[in-house]
A and B are shown apart, each in its own frame.
Chain A
Amino acid sequence: MTAAVFDIDAPRDGLLRRVSDVLLARRGFYLLLLLLPPLLWLGVVYLGSLFALLAESLFSIDDFSGVIIRQPTLATFAQLLQPANFDVIVRTIAIATTVTILAVIVAFPIAYYAARYARGRMKAAFYLLVMMPLWSSYLVKIYAWKLLLAKEGAIGWTMNEAGAGSLLDAVLALPVIGGPSLSTSYIGMVLVFLYLWIPFMVLPVQAALERVPVSLIEASGDLGAAPGQTFRTVILPLALPGVVAGAIFTFSLTLGDYIVPEIVGPSSLILGQVVYIQQGTAGNIPLAAAFAVVPIVIMGFLLTVAKRIGAFDAL
């Protein structure tokens, strides 16, 4: 018996193969090549402009001439503590917190269903339904909601027809969150935020839940935990990084938004609107910049707390 002899040419040595040889031999150079474009983008365009903005917050404005005084001072930051400005910050944090908590409550069951039960077509339908709102214009969606929420809008009309008009009136009569109509109340504003940001909560939570192996849930049951106990002691802690990721999205997006409160909700300003007004009509760039620092500080604080309580332990 003779061994078969194969006579197949080695692949031809083209330019790309030679480049590959060079890159493989020099790992550091290869990495540098990969990272250079994103580093330039992050370092110069992204972080550069952010720091330029933050630097502005250390300047102040001459009240009479409106000229920016380019001398480092904390005076502008001190202005944030004036009652009118501080109210804006507190109000914004309250709204963002409410939106985030509601988003967790609404998104978790959806994400849980998608991660644990949906298969094949149902899964595709899930992604489609969650992502679809992101396909249309943000402004169109807000105006659509304004129409739904208006005094004579679809929601009010349906509730009147269904005989629940008095319920709606009772809700609108609540202090602070109520108002003349849903579209001019905080309820309406929170609803619109909730609608806009829900995909940003559902997807990370779903991804986190998907990574929890079924065997862990079975093991918990095997060790005597009823489904509710399993949820509290195993599923929730393991999904927490996803919830925190989602909360970062919903919270920071709400902190920075200035269009929704412009169209829906009462006339009191929230943070994004103030930044918009200060840097635009008011021409007070230092104060606008100082306001812009607020969400960064809040997010930094929240992430530190989340890390402290072990939200990322399961990562």
Chain B
Amino acid sequence: MATIPEAPVAVSFRGVERHYGQVHAVDGVDLDIAPGEFFAMLGPSGSGKTTCLRLIAGFEQPTAGRIRIFGEEVEGVPAYRRPVNTVFQDYALFPHMNVLDNVCYGLRIRGMARGEREKLGRDALGLVKLSRMEARKPGQLSGGQRQRVALARALVLRPKVLLLDEPLGALDLKLREEMQGELKSLHKTIGLTFVFVTHDQGEALSMADRVAVFNNGRIVQVGAPEDIYERPRVRFVADFVGGSNIVEPDLVRAWTGKAGVASLRPEKIAVVPNDAESRAGAIEVDGTVAQILYQGPVKRIELATAGSVLVAAIPATAGPPLSEGDRVRAVFAASALHIMEGQ
């Protein structure tokens, strides 16, 4: 994280802190977001990710540190002078204006003539596939439609950076998946820098080019979704992103001879009968099935083994039917164990 890229940076944080009395909501964040990047800030609630977004937007000022947006220092610059726009978690549509007036609001503030701004507003509504709704009030729209209006309202101003605060949080699962795809393709079409905040690791992994994982006001890891998922740097990331088996050092040493804590993703573990033949190069652990959770495509199987509890995720239709109490064997490649930093 210490390396400063040569290319122009869309958003950069250097030693940024934000304190509320004794609470350090953001506690020393360094960050570089590249232009045109789809960047996710992922973390549990209270991890400082939303505060970071609000610091970029200008709703909060840092207690310490520097923030630059496309090279320009933004200290003391109020939200209304920043070249960024936000899609709010609750959408924050103006209830006394219709959809088109909401979308054109920023253009109206900039003094654009009605005809011109309404043309741009209609284009933006077309972009989010909401063309026939322009005369409605926000109160007459569904959650998904409101979300699109909020998106159009921010995009119509052609911000240098688009900020999205839990943009899909209030939508139901089906709509959320649909919007994930749309946001991703929208990003590709318009090529803006997107920064979005989410507590949903699936959302972050599926949409973002890069993900920053937050915990306790700090970034614990930044990387491409594959990096974050396959090579978690610390225990928190392994556990928070996707859920993982954390293998303690003594077991790691026993299995591989290496030192350190390891992460072992559940889907990398196969479950076979305990009388199956040993496979060369694989690590094998005997255990008892403690619990089976059916999750549609996969079954999560909790295995009580001598050293620990292992969770395996196996295709729901694979293998012989298992039931609780069965004696089985967990099999995985030594390479599936990813050694992490720290304890």
Contacts and interface: CB of A to CB of B under 8 A. Distances in A.
A231 to B, nearest CB: 12
Nearest to A241: B96
B92 A313 contact: no
A219 B88 contact: yes
A222 B80 contact: yes
Interface stretch (A89-97, A152-160, A210-218, A291-299): A210-218
A211 to B, nearest CB: 10
Nearest to A240: B96
Contacts of B58: 221-222
Nearest to B105: A223
B157 interface: yes
B95 A314 contact: yes
Nearest to B59: A218
Contacts of A313: 96
B82 to A, nearest CB: 8
Given A224-B80, A225-B109, A229-B109, A237 B85 contact: no
A130 interface: no
A300 B85 CA distance: 44
A314 B96 contact: yes
Given A220-B105, A223-B105, A223-B157, A215 B92 contact: yes
A237 B105 CA distance: 14
A306 B115 CA distance: 28
B86 A219 contact: yes
Q: Specify which of A219, A226, A233, A313 lies most central, judged by the most chain B CB atoms within 10 Å of its CB.
A: A219
Contacts of A233: 105, 108-109
Given A218-B59, A218-B88, A224 B94 contact: no
Contact of A234 (B80, B86, B94, B157): B94
B80 A225 contact: yes
Interface string A224-267: 11110100011001100000000000000000000000000000
Contacts of B78: 221, 226
Interface string B236-276: 00000000000000000000000000000000000000000
B101 to A, nearest CB: 10
A218 to B, nearest CB: 5
Nearest to B86: A222
B324 to A, nearest CB: 12
Contact of A223 (B59, B89, B95, B153): B153
Contact of A237 (B80, B84, B96, B106): B96
Given A221-B79, A222-B85, A223-B85, A216 B109 contact: no
Interface string A158-199: 000000000000000000000000000000000000000000
Contacts of A223: 80, 85, 105-106, 109, 153-154, 157
8 contacts: A213-B90, A213-B92, A215-B92, A223-B85, A223-B105, A223-B106, A225-B80, A238-B95
